Amino acid sequence: MTADSVQSLIDQLHEEAALDLPDAETPEVGIVMGSDSDLPTMAGGKGKRPGAHAALVEELGFAEQTDYRDPPEARFTFETFVVSAHRTPELMTAYAETAEARGLDVLIAGAGGKSADLPNMTASIAYPLPVIGVPVQEKSVDSVIGMPQGAPITAVDAGKSFNAALTAAQILAREHGQLRERLVAYHQDLQEDVGEVSRDLHELGTPGFKAAYWDSET
């Protein structure tokens, strides 16, 4: 028996897939995670490093689409769901099998624990849509990347959902010059930061650098 709240999500996904909306109105990226306890890793925050949400919104100008029928102004959007491979296998299947018809171009799937099966099962069902797996914990890495020959998944290291978002944008950028420019600008900023820190460390010396950078943080 499928719970009502899950069945209503499954029905919604199938209805949306049948709408056949234009590409520009549907999310490009779909983010799914096994539990809302994965959110600090998948989205960032709560003492965690920035995650996929920060990469997409703050670095690349995406907006989160919370209503499939009412897209935000931003040209590039993503959506987010909790989908558990073991607690809600029917929802995982419905999400993965409707993803392409719902206009998604790339999926990011994260799960934790030793049986982190959401990324690899989503990749199998959504094929040929590319899926980027995020092992939420170190102990999830083998489970996420251990796919048999012919059943591909792309994966990042444990917890690196930020990089998963960059990879998703790299895939999209082959078709969208605007995204390519944003990725290049992001990388440029990253380089500037390293260059500035390097010069400051060199010119202030280690004690001066510590005083300038570390003391101001406390």
DSSP secondary structure string for all residues of 28-48 = SEEEEES-GGGHHHHH-BTTB
Q: How far is the CB of 86 from ligand AIR (least distance, A)?
A: 4
- From the list 10-18, 83-91, 146-154, 202-210, the region that binds ligand AIR by CB under 6 A is 83-91
Q: Round to the nearest angstrom and report the end-to-end CA distance of the chain.
A: 53
Q: Which is nearer to ligand AIR, 164 or 169 (CB)?
A: 164
Q: Which is nearer to ligand AIR, 86 or 199 (CB)?
A: 86
Quickly tell me which residue has 């996420």 as its tokens.
Answer: 144
CB of 116 to ligand AIR, least distance (A): 5
> Among residue numbers 102 through 121, which ones bind ligand AIR (CB under 6 A)?
111-113, 115-116
Contact letters (x/-) for ligand AIR, 158-197, by CB under 6 A?
----------------------------------------
Q: Cβ(78)–Cβ(102) under 8 Å?
A: no
Total residues in contact with ligand AIR, by rule CB under 6 A: 14
Q: Which residues, at least 6 apart from 168, have a Cβ–Cβ distance to it below 8 Å? A: 28, 29, 56, 106, 108, 132
State both tokens at 207: 């004690």
Decide: is 37 part of the binding site for ligand AIR (CB under 6 A): yes
Q: What is the 3-state secondary structure (H, E, C) of 112-159?
A: CCCCCCHHHHHHHHHCCCCEEEEECCHHHHHHHHCCCCCCCCEECCCC
Kindly tell me which residue out of 35, 93, 124, 170 binds ligand AIR, with binding defined by CB under 6 A. 35
Name the minimum Å distance from CB 84 to ligand AIR.
3
- Which tokens hold the place of 118? 């959401």
Q: Which residues 134-163 are close enough to bind ligand AIR by CB under 6 A?
A: 136
Cis before 128 (ω within 30) = yes
Residue 51 found at the interface with ligand AIR (CB under 6 A): no
Binding site for ligand AIR (CB under 6 A): 34-35, 37-38, 84-87, 111-113, 115-116, 136
